[in-house]
Amino acid sequence: MIRYELPRTEDLIRLGRPRPNGLSIYLPTAPTPAGRDLAFATAKSAVDEAVRKLRDTGRSPAIQEALRGQWTAVAADDRIWSNLAASLVIFLAPDFAEEYVLPNDLEPRVHVGDYFDLNQLVRTVTLPQRAFAVTLSSNGWNLWEATATTRATELELVGEHAEDVAEATHRSTIRGRQLFRRLGGDEGHKVLLERYAQVVAEAVRTELVRLDPKAAVPLFVFATEPCSACSGRNSCRGSRCPCRAHRMSCVPTRSTPPSGRGSGRSPMPR
């Protein structure tokens, strides 16, 4: 059975039952021809090694062949190998086969025993599967939300907030360097961006306190230079969730996104 989402609690309970001669395979994968070939070869080698272990520990030829038969069915299923993501998890036993094609980055591991190795799946399931993000440039900003089952979507803001650096600093709407030259060159540039980052941080904090009052959901900031330097010094979560506590991660971007909520949306990086 192929699954394309993380196991639910009932799935973990079912997989956690005794499974004599069970084989657990965790593989990092890539959705490319080369990635497919590597994943297939690595999985096949893991099965071959598992069968050798069964033979060396005195398991009957019938058990060995049954396990290999389960692998043969998995190997022939093009739905798996043509739709790889970041990781592939394969659970095999003489009377059982189940596969998980997942977007999560899992570490390579092979385990043979009377129980399947569920450690990485359990850790992944218990980690937050939800995140907020801010896209930020001097031309505007946007707030986004992503979950384990949905793509990132822009959040509709409840409050009234400044839309760009000009509005945040009460200057006329002038784009580009002309605005900053009129305000004192590089120093004026820095002062305006610092103020802008503070205004955006306060706006994000105000919006997120309704949705995540305990600040438990990770927040990422995708900012163009030089805004990324300023946003890193201005936490969107305040004292409850400062940057230094790693609740807010700033990811600089090279290109300048379109202007924000007032005159075009800043795209969410994919």
Identify which of 264, 205, 200 has the alpha carbon closest to the alpha carbon of residue 231: 200
Do residues 35 and 105 both lie within one domain?
A: yes
Residues 102-111, mean pLDDT to the nearest whole number = 91
Which helix or strand (DSSP H or E) is residue 127 part of?
none
> Domains in the chain: how many in total?
2
Whether 249 shows a pLDDT value over 50: the answer reads no
Residues 155-164, mean pLDDT to the nearest whole number = 82
Whether 53 shows a pLDDT value over 70: the answer reads yes
In a domain, 192, yes or no: yes
Residues 26-37, mean pLDDT to the nearest whole number = 94
How many residues belong to the chain?
270
Whether 258 shows a pLDDT value over 90: the answer reads no
Do residues 74 and 114 both lie within one domain?
A: yes
Do residues 51 and 104 both lie within one domain?
A: yes
Indicate the pLDDT class of residue 241, thresholds 50, 70 and 90: very low
In a domain, 264, yes or no: no
| pLDDT tens per residue, range 82-94 | 999 999 999 999 9
Alpha helices in the chain (DSSP H): 9-15, 33-56, 61-75, 78-81, 119-126, 165-168, 177-181, 185-211, 227-231
Give 3-state DSSP helix, strand, coil % of the chain, rounded to 5. 40, 20, 40
| pLDDT tens per residue, range 189-209 | 677 778 788 888 888 899 999
Q: Supply the range of the domain harboring residue 9.
A: 2-126
Whether 233 shows a pLDDT value over 50: the answer reads no
Residues 227-249, mean pLDDT to the nearest whole number = 42
The pLDDT score that the predictor gives to residue 10 is 92
Q: For residue 259, give both structure tokens.
A: 């202007």
- Distance CA(227)–CA(136), nearest Å, equals 7
Which domain CATH number covers 173?
3.30.420
Distances from the Cα of 246 to the Cα of 135, 143, 157, 233, 250, angstroms: 18, 19, 25, 12, 10
Query: What's this model's pTM, rounded to 2 decimal places?
Result: 0.55
C-beta of residue 100 within 8 angstroms of C-beta of residue 121: yes
Distance of CA 122 to the CA centre of its chain: 16
In a domain, 269, yes or no: no
The burial of 170, by beta-carbon neighbours within 10 Å (0-12 exposed, 13-18 middle, 19 or more buried), is given as exposed
Whether 180 shows a pLDDT value over 50: the answer reads no
In a domain, 265, yes or no: no
The pLDDT score that the predictor gives to residue 244 is 31
The pLDDT > 70 percentage for the chain reads 71
C-beta of residue 39 within 8 angstroms of C-beta of residue 137: no
Which domain CATH number covers 56?
3.30.960.10
In a domain, 151, yes or no: yes
Do residues 77 and 154 both lie within one domain?
A: no
Cis bond leading into 258, ω under 30°?
no
Do residues 82 and 151 both lie within one domain?
A: no
φ/ψ region of 184 (left if φ > 0, alpha if ψ in -120 to 50, else beta) reads left
The pLDDT score that the predictor gives to residue 11 is 94
Distance from the first to the final alpha carbon of the chain: 29
